[in-house]
């Protein structure tokens, strides 16, 4: 609230404020010195006092359900009008300091936009912890004027309104409304004190405040650090740091370094566009299985996926990183397969220091798990239980965000850590396809009289991107975050299950429920069963009447492509029918991708790969001085990460103004995608190589700088191809460059750059 | 003295293998010759024992034959000569029954199974895996038992005989160090350890899987790996299902367990190469080497001679890596040049009379113009009957693989590959030879350039 000088002299801070007035009067705004001769009474300066709070959120790790986010204030933060717009409360800006209740009272000559400069000596009262890194929240002039009567609330949300106004050249009212719409709270509350809210409104505000706090802290870090702008790997054309650098292919490192130190205003936006990857609220990654690009692209068996590819954007040179499934999913979970080169159970070879910690193992002798197929001991020369390695799941959780894996066709009541089992009590009819619905079939495919009992292995742990990681299976939220997904052949009859006790209130389609309630994760892996994901298993049943044995019409052969095509269509439509998707202020993406191709010839992989038949690859570990050394602790590592060809990869977004129909042919791999996700959710910092997990840090520059420890990349004929980069389409392919390919694509190699360099993740053109 | 020479030869091969691999840090120019960065990997004690054994002629009945005698490191651990079968036994006078395979790139070979999943992930499961031409040894260790105890190879009388020789070897101490002070106390255990040592050597020593060919530079995105136009065309022939179709069995893609470009899918096929009279055992007209169905392998023997048996005539598709170093091809070594092998694939069906004998005909005084001169039989006959598939009993002709390029097309029809295809294919296969060093300057002319 604002008071007149006569009243503020009565405040307990009179002495301080008198000094402040004197200081203010030293400035041009009070430069009328004509009466300062002692003979003429001084006209009290026309200052105003702005009161309010600096509010925020605090994250408390360890929740077994949703992240624990608490409301609070910043104690010891400086509040000022940032007159010189340097993103700091300088001494000559006479900042007020917030008290233990987060309150400030600031005297200024005129009402202006405010900043809260939150240093590392400030305390977040939500957690009682010191603020870990300098942060700045802003509040616009319009907001200050609007709230001046009741107290101004400077918060991550107020700062976001400011940022959006600058980004979009729009008004306060517009962006305030957009933010309210975005997080689903009333306009009157969106910039209010989160501490005064409750229920869903408070929860929504805290969730957003938590994410924004990290973004704005990162913006300040970039600014204070003097980062160049934009990020190196977001520079149009290519990374300018590579030009003239030893150990990189000169023909593809041609962009001059012209970047300048980032400004405060640039940093504000850059923190929401790390390496050119915009912040998204939610991403759904639909995982399909084992199809080369040429098996899907333009296939008559996959008309719906092809329509989505056309409708959205594509990465047309997307490579798997392993073979078979488990290494690929593990790499999608954390940008490395850690020497896993088969589909063995997650406890295989896990002895000694690698022994599982999530005990007891889910074997059939455990209570309620009599039907478990889990083998309690599994000899294998290779450890399949990855310990103490970074991964997306732990990183998302540690940032106070959420992940989900939606898994189809689990047995109700089973342990998520085991494969599903056959259940003869769960019977479904064979899928029947009318003419012209399966690759141009002229007659009906399928037998309406064929009844198929639920086969075993529809759900497989090898297809869970987090399963190999001990730290994921042991995470408090592991059970909560693994969920069901319906819509398949047996899902409607899973209620007849007999293999495990069906838990009370069991939701057979949690994805459907979550899309209705909005309780999806930030990062969502959508994992169809082994028929709906095009993998294929043997599914046999009995023909009613004749008693003859029959095989499912569409869990093998080309028909399974159509089955998967239909399932993808089902999931995409379901997501797009949700309020989440329909809220354009929410940034939502759906990725349709395969774990691997076939790689029957040509290049097996790219972009962080263990170069074909290299015999020397080892992971790296960081020394205390920041340098890197070889980590030789992983058996079979050299056989991992070798790739398995190219598959289709498409992304749909809910952004109406986003560029569409973009084909990005710059090669990417699972490691690139994991790097992209780290950028998307601010899980890493491009200025700190080691902040990117595992092989996702293997940029062209990093490899060149660490070539002695990465001998698999020595002698490269094309260091760009070998290296990881985010999927941002910033790199421009040289005019005479001939595309490298696996045998999985049917098109002739592209020569030269893409038709458009638009970013497949861009939110607007 | 001979042992020392062989050992030195082996070390030379190791060094050569190490030198052919990966490049240095200076990649910006595009012409920097590759240099080694990776330090040589230390062999385990067991592998060190295996290394000693591999080159030890004292481990044979003759005292003059080691593993390396037939599996010569200078020939990619294959035979150093063009003999269809090697001579062994106590006097080195006993001929073998089959051509010596290379021991390179065996580390990913799975044990034999009648229905092995194909590494391409596409082909239906079928007979595959295992060691020797018929897969009867499940592991490299089991494979090592075969020559050690074969009467016409190293000719040890028994496992105990081998162990006794080991005990007397100058590396017996190393053996004890590797397998325990009482390693020789139990003969059977000591023999198992000896076989395991040979396996360890082959698994651990990079000279058995150097991946140092030009193709490896190509597939690994390395400087010097750019295929010439001819090589690239040859690769296309190799892969193309309508011409060479070599890749169908000599699979060059990604496989299981991190393998890649092994140029075999471990599968077995019957293609019925011509009977080789140079193998003395074939003097017996009733003797047929039928691979999976015997006689050396015994679990798929026909119930009675001629009884239906889908395994008869099937032999393992070997890796084609280093194929250009060989001069005895197929299980019976009947062909002696790579070009001849390709021409056999191309014309087995279109010119059967140049591969199989003609019975009842009359040799012509002069061949017709255009009668090929590259076959095993260079004389044209008037009349008579070609004894096609003469090394496989007629009852098993149905087992013969109909895949391209051996698709059973009519005699004197157009073969699948053109002369250009064949020349290009040979150029490509030459890129599979290990130890490749990129030339300092890129050649602009030559048979495999354009």
Q: What is the pLDDT of residues B364-380, one digit of tens each?
A: 999 999 999 999 999 99
What span, in angstroms and rounded, lies between the C-alpha atoms of A749 and A746? Answer: 9
DSSP B232: H
Query: What percentage of chain B's residues is helix, strand, coil (to nearest 5)?
Result: 35, 10, 60
DSSP B333: T
What span, in angstroms and rounded, lies between the C-alpha atoms of B355 and A512? Answer: 67
Dihedral over Cα of A212, A336, A309, A561: its sign = negative
First to last CA, chain B: 47
Contact B34 A601 (CB under 8 A): no
* Residue A58 bridge partners (DSSP): A70
Residue of B nearest to A604 (CA): B254
* Residue A105 bridge partners (DSSP): A51
Whether residue B3 is predicted with pLDDT greater than 60 in this model: the reply is: no
Single out the residue of A403, A420, A419, A395 nearest to residue A482, CA to CA: A403
Strands A523-527 and A282-288: parallel
Contact A612 B256 (CB under 8 A): no
Contact A616 B221 (CB under 8 A): no
Residue contacts between A and B (CB atoms, under 8 Å): 147
Q: Tokens in use for A296?
A: 């899907």
Say how many CA atoms lie within 13 Å of B200 toward its Cβ: 21
The mean pLDDT of B95-121, rounded to a whole number, is 96
User: Which of A245, A612, A749 should be substituted to probe chain B, the one whose Cβ sees the most B Cβ atoms within 10 Å?
Assistant: A612
Contact A600 B220 (CB under 8 A): no
Contact A717 B225 (CB under 8 A): yes
Residue of A nearest to B256 (CA): A323
Whether residue B34 is predicted with pLDDT greater than 90 in this model: the reply is: no
What span, in angstroms and rounded, lies between the C-alpha atoms of B247 and A180? Answer: 60
Given this model, what pLDDT does residue A613 score?
85
Q: Which residues of B touch A290 (CB under 8 A)?
A: 121
Q: Which residues of B touch A722 (CB under 8 A)?
A: 221
Whether A460 and A583 have beta carbons less than 8 Å apart is answered as no
What span, in angstroms and rounded, lies between the C-alpha atoms of B22 and A613? Answer: 11
Contact B221 A716 (CB under 8 A): yes
Q: What angle do CA A407, A610, A471 make, to 5 degrees?
A: 40
Cβ-based neighbour number of residue A645 at 10 Å:
31
CATH number belonging to domain A283-417+459-535+560-722 = 3.40.720
Say how many CA atoms lie within 13 Å of B233 toward its Cβ: 17
Q: Which residues of B touch A616 (CB under 8 A)?
A: 22, 37-38
User: Which of B218, B254, B260 should be substituted to probe chain A, the one whose Cβ sees the most A Cβ atoms within 10 Å?
Assistant: B254
Contact B256 A251 (CB under 8 A): no
Contact A743 B37 (CB under 8 A): no
What span, in angstroms and rounded, lies between the C-alpha atoms of B188 and B363? Answer: 58
Whether A611 and A669 have beta carbons less than 8 Å apart is answered as no
Residue of B nearest to A722 (CA): B221
What span, in angstroms and rounded, lies between the C-alpha atoms of A711 and A619? Answer: 11
Tokens 């090929």 belong to B372
Contact A615 B251 (CB under 8 A): no
Q: Which residues of A touch B105 (CB under 8 A)?
A: none
Contact B27 A643 (CB under 8 A): no
Cβ-based neighbour number of residue A765 at 10 Å:
9
What span, in angstroms and rounded, lies between the C-alpha atoms of A225 and A218? Answer: 10
Which 3 state secondary structure label does DSSP give A58?
A: strand
What span, in angstroms and rounded, lies between the C-alpha atoms of B416 and B268? Answer: 22
What span, in angstroms and rounded, lies between the C-alpha atoms of B60 and B62? Answer: 5
Determine the length of chain A. Answer: 765
Among candidates A604, A704, A715 on the partner chain, residue whose Cβ is nearest the Cβ of B22: A715
Alpha-carbon distance A602 to nearest alpha carbon in chain B (angstroms): 7
Contact B260 A718 (CB under 8 A): no
Which 3 state secondary structure label does DSSP give A52?
A: strand
B223 touches chain A (CB under 8 A): yes
Alpha-carbon distance B336 to nearest alpha carbon in chain A (angstroms): 28
Gyration radius from chain B CA atoms: 23
Cβ-based neighbour number of residue A343 at 10 Å:
17
Alpha-carbon distance B440 to nearest alpha carbon in chain A (angstroms): 15
Whether A721 and A667 have beta carbons less than 8 Å apart is answered as yes
Residue of B nearest to A342 (CA): B257
Question: Which H/E stretch holds residue A104?
Answer: strand A103-108
Q: Which residues of A touch B227 (CB under 8 A)?
A: none
B363 touches chain A (CB under 8 A): no
Query: Crossing angle for the helix pair A559-576 and A303-311, nearest 10 degrees?
Result: 40
Alpha-carbon distance B240 to nearest alpha carbon in chain A (angstroms): 11
Whether A104 and A75 have beta carbons less than 8 Å apart is answered as no
Whether A447 and A429 have beta carbons less than 8 Å apart is answered as no
Q: Which residues of A touch B260 (CB under 8 A)?
A: 599, 604, 612-613, 642
B256 touches chain A (CB under 8 A): yes
Q: Which residues contact A240 (CB under 8 A, 6 or more apart)?
A: A232, A255, A256, A257, A258, A259
Contact A715 B239 (CB under 8 A): no
Q: Which residues of A touch B211 (CB under 8 A)?
A: 613-615
B261 touches chain A (CB under 8 A): yes
Q: Which residues of B touch A245 (CB under 8 A)?
A: 28
Single out the residue of B254, B268, B266 nearest to residue B120, CA to CA: B254
Q: Which residues of B touch A737 (CB under 8 A)?
A: none
Contact B26 A718 (CB under 8 A): no
Per-residue pLDDT of B275-313, as tens digits, reads 999 999 999 999 999 999 999 999 999 999 999 999 999
What span, in angstroms and rounded, lies between the C-alpha atoms of B357 and A675? Answer: 65
Domain B2-208 in CATH: superfamily?
Cytochrome c-like domain (1.10.760.10)
Whether A593 and A608 have beta carbons less than 8 Å apart is answered as no
Tokens 């017709």 belong to B368
Cβ-based neighbour number of residue A407 at 10 Å:
25
Which 3 state secondary structure label does DSSP give B86?
A: coil
- In three-state form (DSSP H/G/I as H, E/B as E, the rest C), the secondary structure along A534-576 is CCCCCCEEEECCCCCEEECCCCCCCHHHHHHHHHHHHHHHHHH
Q: Which residues of B touch A640 (CB under 8 A)?
A: 258
A15 phi, psi to nearest 5 deg: -65, -45
What span, in angstroms and rounded, lies between the C-alpha atoms of A169 and A305? Answer: 37
Given this model, what pLDDT does residue A42 score?
55
Contact B254 A645 (CB under 8 A): yes
Q: Tokens in use for A6?
A: 């006569």
Cβ-based neighbour number of residue B296 at 10 Å:
15
Alpha-carbon distance A517 to nearest alpha carbon in chain B (angstroms): 41
What are the sequence ranges of the domains in chain A? 5-225, 283-417+459-535+560-722
Whether A83 and A93 have beta carbons less than 8 Å apart is answered as yes
Residue of A nearest to B122 (CA): A598
Tokens 């609007």 belong to A146
Largest interatomic CA distance in chain B: 73
- What is the secondary structure of A107-135 as a DSSP string? EESS---EEEEE-TT-EETTTTEEPSS-E
B84 phi, psi to nearest 5 deg: -60, -45
Among candidates A247, A616, A740 on the partner chain, residue whose Cβ is nearest the Cβ of B26: A247
Selected residues 303-322 of chain B with any CB under 8 Å from a CB in chain A: none
Whether A466 and A477 have beta carbons less than 8 Å apart is answered as no
Q: Tokens in use for B26?
A: 């200076």
Contact B256 A246 (CB under 8 A): no
Alpha-carbon distance A415 to nearest alpha carbon in chain B (angstroms): 28
Say how many CA atoms lie within 13 Å of A428 toward its Cβ: 24
Task: Measure Cα distances from A184 to A580, B51, B421 in Å.
Answer: 10, 71, 67
The mean pLDDT of B214-220, rounded to a whole number, is 97
DSSP A230: S
Ranges under pLDDT 70 in chain A: 1-45
Contact B122 A598 (CB under 8 A): yes
User: Which of B258, B432, B442 should be substituted to probe chain A, the one whose Cβ sees the most A Cβ atoms within 10 Å?
Assistant: B258
A136 phi, psi to nearest 5 deg: -135, 125
Alpha-carbon distance B436 to nearest alpha carbon in chain A (angstroms): 14
């Amino acid at each position: 609230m604002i008071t007149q000088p006569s009243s503020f002299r009565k405040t307990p801070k009179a002495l301080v404020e008198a000094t402040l007035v004197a200081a203010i009067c030293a400035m041009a705004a009070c430069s009328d010195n004509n009466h300062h001769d002692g003979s003429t009474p001084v006209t009290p300066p026309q200052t105003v006092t702005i009161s309010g709070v600096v509010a925020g959120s605090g994250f408390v790790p360890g929740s077994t359900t949703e992240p624990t986010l608490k409301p609070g204030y910043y104690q010891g933060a400086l509040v000022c009008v940032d007159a010189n717009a340097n993103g700091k409360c300088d001494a000559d800006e006479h900042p007020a300091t917030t008290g233990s209740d987060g309150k400030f009272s600031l005297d200024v000559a005129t009402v202006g936009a405010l900043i809260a400069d939150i240093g590392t000596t400030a305390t977040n009262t939500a957690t009682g912890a010191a603020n870990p890194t300098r942060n700045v929240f802003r509040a616009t002039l319009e907001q200050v004027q609007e709230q001046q009567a009741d107290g101004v609330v400077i918060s991550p949300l107020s700062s976001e309104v400011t940022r959006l106004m600058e980004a979009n050249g729009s008004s306060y009212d517009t962006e305030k409304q957009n933010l309210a719409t975005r997080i689903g709270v009333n306009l009157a509350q969106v910039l209010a004190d989160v501490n005064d809210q409750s229920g869903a409104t408070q929860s929504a505000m805290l969730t957003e405040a938590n994410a924004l706090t990290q973004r704005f802290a990162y913006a300040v870090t970039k600014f204070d650090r003097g980062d160049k702008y934009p990020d190196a790997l977001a520079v149009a054309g290519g990374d300018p740091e590579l030009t003239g650098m030893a150990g990189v292919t000169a023909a593809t490192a041609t962009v001059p370094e012209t970047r300048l130190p980032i400004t405060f205003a640039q940093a504000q936006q850059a923190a929401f566009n790390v390496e050119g990857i915009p912040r998204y609220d939610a991403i759904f990654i639909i995982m399909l299985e084992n199809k080369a690009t040429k098996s899907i692209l333009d296939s008559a068996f996959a008309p719906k996926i092809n329509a989505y590819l056309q409708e959205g954007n594509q990465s047309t040179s997307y490579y798997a990183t392993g073979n078979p499934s488990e290494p690929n999913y593990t790499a999608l979970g954390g940008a490395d397969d850690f020497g896993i080169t088969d589909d063995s159970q997650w406890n295989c070879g896990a002895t000694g220091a690698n022994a599982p910690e999530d005990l007891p193992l889910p074997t059939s002798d455990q209570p309620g798990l009599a039907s478990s197929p889990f083998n309690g001991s599994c000899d294998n020369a290779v450890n399949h239980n990855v310990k103490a390695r970074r991964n997306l799941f732990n990183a998302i959780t540690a940032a106070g965000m959420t992940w989900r894996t939606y898994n189809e066709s689990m047995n109700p009541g089973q342990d998520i850590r085991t494969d599903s089992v056959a259940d003869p009590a769960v019977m479904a009819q064979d899928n029947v396809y009318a003419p012209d619905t399966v690759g141009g079939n002229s007659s009906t495919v399928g037998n309406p009289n064929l009844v198929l009992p639920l086969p075993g292995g529809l759900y497989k742990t090898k297809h869970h991107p987090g399963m190999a990681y001990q730290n994921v299976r042991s995470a408090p939220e592991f059970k909560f975050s693994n969920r069901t997904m319906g819509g398949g052949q047996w899902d409607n009859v899973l209620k007849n299950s007999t293999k495990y006790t069906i838990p009370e209130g069991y939701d057979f389609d949690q994805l459907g429920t979550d899309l209705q309630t909005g309780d999806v994760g930030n990062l969502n892996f959508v994992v169809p069963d082994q028929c709906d994901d095009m993998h294929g298993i043997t599914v046999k049943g009995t023909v009613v009447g004749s008693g003859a044995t029959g095989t499912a019409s569409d869990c093998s052969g080309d028909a399974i492509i159509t089955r998967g095509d239909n399932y993808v269509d089902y999931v995409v439509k379901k997501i797009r029918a949700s309020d989440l998707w329909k809220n354009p202020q929410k940034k939502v993406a759906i990725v349709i991708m395969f774990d691997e191709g076939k790689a029957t010839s040509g290049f097996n992989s790219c972009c962080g790969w263990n170069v074909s038949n290299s015999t020397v690859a080892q992971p790296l570990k960081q020394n205390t001085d920041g340098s890197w050394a070889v980590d030789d602790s992983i058996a079979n590592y050299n056989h991992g990460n070798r790739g398995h060809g190219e598959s289709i990869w498409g992304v749909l977004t809910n952004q109406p103004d986003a560029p569409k129909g973009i084909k990005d042919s710059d090669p990417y791999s699972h490691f690139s995608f994991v790097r992209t996700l780290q950028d998307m959710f601010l899980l890493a910092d491009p200025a700190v190589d080691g902040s990117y997990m595992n092989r996702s840090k293997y940029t062209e520059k990093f490899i060149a700088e660490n070539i002695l420890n990465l001998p698999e990349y020595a002698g490269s004929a094309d260091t760009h191809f070998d290296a990881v980069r985010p999927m941002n389409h910033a790199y421009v392919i040289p005019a005479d460059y001939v595309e490298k390919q696996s045998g999985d694509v049917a098109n002739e190699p592209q020569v030269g750059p893409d038709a458009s360099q638009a970013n497949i993740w861009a939110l607007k053109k | 003295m001979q042992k020392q020479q062989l050992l030195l030869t082996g070390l030379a091969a190791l060094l050569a293998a190490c030198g052919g691999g990966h490049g240095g840090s200076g990649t910006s120019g595009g012409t920097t010759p590759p240099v080694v960065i990776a330090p040589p990997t230390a062999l385990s004690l067991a592998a060190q024992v295996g290394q000693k054994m591999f080159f030890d002629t004292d481990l044979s009945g003759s005292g003059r034959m080691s593993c390396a005698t037939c599996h010569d490191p200078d020939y990619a651990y294959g035979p150093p000569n063009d003999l269809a079968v090697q001579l062994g036994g106590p006097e080195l006078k006993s001929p073998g029954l089959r051509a010596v395979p290379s021991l390179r790139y065996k580390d990913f070979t799975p044990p034999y199974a009648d229905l092995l999943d194909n590494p391409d992930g596409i082909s239906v499961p079928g007979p595959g895996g295992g060691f020797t031409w018929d897969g009867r040894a499940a592991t490299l260790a089991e494979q090592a038992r075969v020559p050690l105890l074969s009467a016409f190879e190293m000719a040890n009388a028994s496992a105990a005989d081998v162990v006794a020789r080991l005990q007397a070897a100058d590396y017996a101490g190393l053996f004890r160090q590797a397998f325990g002070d009482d390693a020789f106390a139990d003969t059977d255990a000591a023999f198992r350890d000896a076989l395991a040592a040979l396996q360890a050597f082959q698994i651990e020593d990079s000279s058995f899987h150097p991946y140092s060919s030009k193709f490896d530079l190509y597939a690994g995105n390395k400087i010097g790996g750019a295929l010439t136009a001819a090589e690239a065309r040859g690769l296309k022939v190799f892969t193309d299902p309508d011409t060479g179709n070599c890749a169908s069995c000599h699979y060059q893609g990604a496989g299981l367990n991190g393998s890649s470009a092994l140029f075999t899918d471990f599968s077995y096929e019957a293609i019925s190469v011509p009977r080789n009279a140079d193998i003395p055992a074939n003097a017996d007209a009733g003797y047929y080497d039928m691979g999976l169905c015997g006689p050396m392998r015994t679990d798929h023997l026909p119930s009675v001679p001629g009884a239906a048996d889908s395994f008869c005539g099937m032999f393992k598709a070997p890796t084609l890596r280093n194929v250009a170093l060989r001069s005895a091809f197929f299980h019976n070594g009947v062909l002696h040049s790579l070009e001849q092998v390709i021409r056999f694939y191309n014309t087995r069906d279109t010119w059967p009379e140049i591969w199989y004998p003609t019975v009842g005909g009359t040799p012509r005084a002069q061949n017709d113009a255009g009668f090929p001169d590259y076959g095993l039989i260079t004389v044209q006959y008037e009349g008579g009957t070609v004894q096609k598939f003469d090394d496989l009993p007629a009852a098993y002709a149905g087992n013969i693989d109909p895949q391209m390029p051996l698709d059973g097309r009519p005699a004197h029809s157009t073969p699948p590959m053109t002369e250009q295809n064949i020349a290009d294919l040979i150029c490509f296969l030459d890129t599979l030879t290990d130890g490749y060093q990129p030339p300092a300057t890129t050649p602009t002319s030559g048979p495999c350039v354009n």
